Amino acid sequence: MSIGLPPQKSGGTLDFYFDFISPYGYFGSLCVEDFASDHGLDVEWRPMLLGISVLKVMKLPPLPERPLMGRYHLEHAIPRHARLHGIHIARNLAAPPPNPIAAARAFCLVKRDAPQATVSFARAVLHAHWAEGTDVVSDPQELAAIAARLGAPADAVAAARDDPDAAALLRSEVDASIARGVFGSPTFIVDNEPFFGVESLPTLDLWLKRRRETGDG
Amino acid sequence: MSIGLPPQKSGGTLDFYFDFISPYGYFGSLCVEDFASDHGLDVEWRPMLLGISVLKVMKLPPLPERPLMGRYHLEHAIPRHARLHGIHIARNLAAPPPNPIAAARAFCLVKRDAPQATVSFARAVLHAHWAEGTDVVSDPQELAAIAARLGAPADAVAAARDDPDAAALLRSEVDASIARGVFGSPTFIVDNEPFFGVESLPTLDLWLKRRRETGDG
């Protein structure tokens, strides 16, 4: 154990886009901070809305309803990733997920009003949703209880789902995500270079190493 | 340089599904043999038809026409993969590809009648299509020239596009690929466990290592 300065980060920012109800977004959330830290990057956690926004732009049905691809992800790739990385998932992947709007709006408020709690709030909500299997993402009282535990404004979080300010904050983030071409959860962006999917992290790793070696970017 | 027995392979078979006109299939073809060899696996090269068959089942437009996702792959992920791995691509990724039926049927004939030339034939066709940018996949004479160079039956290859036997062989492979849930190129399958995409190879690597450690499978 060493006592010293916090790790130096000067390599820029990694934008981490995730949807609370995306299993791959959850997987990404569990490793993105360590990954970024290894590369000297700060992480900016950013909400996106897969089912509510992106799939409408892409004219795609939700993953479970897609022929061939749905079965691949639900029966193979998602449980396999969880197993290989020791991640417990308490949810039925084939069941329709709860609406994540309340969680995403609450997240935007926490990020604005209690930025030091941003990451711990997102992680606690993701953990409750995925590892405990509760419908926290659509439950203002559960969201508020998490906020209170973390020193974030619980009353504002409890009201976030129906708060026009929170709605505008989230809308602005989601519009920006689409403008940046984000179509899936998770998406990692460094210096406007997007990497989609948790399996793209080795590619991002190689891209960052190559950039350091060549001084490019 | 060592003289000795060929590398021992006893770990089973890796089914490698690819479409000649898929850039990621090309990327997979360049590394699948080394990857499999590292794990003691033999590679079974298998054709699939992305645009002609799978996308119909999935009711999806071709990649370049998909909102957000098309741009991600064409402008970021594909050229980036090529750059990071030192792969030259001579084709315009946004242009409609030639019909790969002639190449896929020829491949089936080569695999049946000159199995020792299977991999070199596939690689030569892929190289001509991607690295040289020719429309070899739809050109029976070009395909026959490649076959002749590799000691495979050139006349049969020249006639493959319109040969009912070759058509039946390919149809059987393609039907089997769909029955196995293959929806993208490349797909790697080991013991019925499918891994989609060239970026899934690190996951397959981890899966194979874990299987060896635990004796599972």
Task: Flag if A203 and B199 touch (Cβ within 8 Å).
Answer: yes
- Rounded to an integer, what distance in angstroms lies between the CA atom of residue B39 and that of residue B187? 17
| CB distance A48 to A24 below 8 Å | no
B114 or A217: which carries more pLDDT confidence? B114
Mind listing the pLDDT tens digit for each residue in A181-194? 999 999 999 999 99
Q: Where are the alpha helices (DSSP H) in chain A?
A: 23-38, 55-58, 69-71, 78-84, 101-113, 118-126, 140-149, 154-158, 164-179, 201-214
Mind listing the pLDDT tens digit for each residue in B71-96? 999 999 999 999 999 999 999 999 99
Mind listing the pLDDT tens digit for each residue in A119-137? 999 999 999 999 999 999 9
pLDDT recorded at residue A217: 46
Q: What is the edge-to-edge ordering of all strands in the sheet holding B193-196?
A: B42-47, B13-18, B187-190, B193-196
Class of domain B13-214: alpha beta
Check if B80 contacts A (Cβ < 8 Å): yes
pLDDT recorded at residue A8: 56
Contacts of B181 (CB under 8 A, 6+ apart): A68, A71, A72, B194
Side-chain-side CA neighbours of residue A202 (13 Å)? 12
Q: Which H helix or E strand runs over B195? A: strand B193-196
CA angle A107, A113, A117 (to 5 degrees): 60
Check if A57 contacts B (Cβ < 8 Å): yes
Assess whether pLDDT exceeds 80 at residue A52: no
Torsion of CA A110, A151, A144, A116, to 10 degrees: 20
Task: Flag if B72 and A181 touch (Cβ within 8 Å).
Answer: yes
| CB distance A109 to A151 below 8 Å | no
Assess whether pLDDT exceeds 70 at residue A6: no
pLDDT recorded at residue A47: 97
- Rounded to an integer, what distance in angstroms lies between the CA atom of residue A25 and that of residue A103? 14
Classify residue A24 as exposed, middle or buried by CB count within 10 Å of its CB (0-12, 13-18, 19+).
buried
Check if A20 contacts B (Cβ < 8 Å): no
